[in-house]
Amino acid sequence: MRKYECVYVISSNLEEEQIKALIERFNNLVSQYGELESVEEWGRKKLAYEVQKQKEGYYVLMNFSSNPDFPAELERNFKITEEILKYMVVSKE
């Protein structure tokens, strides 16, 4: 198992309940395939530049351990979720 860090930005057009549901969905996905270590919700922040005509996003930092093939599956889920504006998954080692 390798350690990873993931930051993703959720569209700020969503309601608070929808944001919480999305965060829970990705937490459950990581828990299925690995071990979720921590989740930090940084909240709404201004983006450095406009993304999909939006100037704000809801930032979430997630630390987890998993097999090396899981980050590709996580990125695939980020890509097909329209509410995710940006994401980055990096290995900590």
What are the domain boundaries of the chain? 2-91
Averaged pLDDT, 2-6? 95
Taking the C-alpha atoms of residue 24 and residue 85, their distance in angstroms, rounded to an integer, is 17
Give me the sign of the Cα torsion angle 53, 75, 61, 82: positive
Of 3.30.70.60, 3.40.50.150, 3.30.70.270, 3.60.110.10, the CATH number of 2-91 is: 3.30.70.60
Cβ contact 64:33 at 8 Å: no
10-64 pLDDT, tens digit per residue, is 998 999 999 999 999 999 999 999 999 999 999 999 999 998 889 999 999 999 9
Give the sheet arrangement for strand 34-51, strand by strand: 34-51, 54-66, 2-11, 84-91
Whole-structure pTM value: 0.91
